């Protein structure tokens, strides 16, 4: 399981996208 899958389990897709933008 990758990090995005783990985040998707506790956060909404919008939250995951926001985090991805912050990381990048």
Structure confidence at residue 8 (pLDDT): 61
Global pTM?
0.36
13: left (phi over 0), alpha (psi -120 to 50) or beta: alpha
Q: Where do runs of H (alpha helix) occur along the chain?
A: 3-10, 13-23
Q: Which residues touch 4 (CB under 8 Å, ≥6 apart)?
A: 16, 20
pLDDT tens for the chain, 24 residues long, are 577 776 667 777 788 788 888 888
């Amino acid at each position: 399981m990758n990090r995005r899958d783990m985040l998707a389990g506790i956060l909404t897709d919008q939250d995951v996208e926001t985090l991805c933008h912050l990381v990048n």
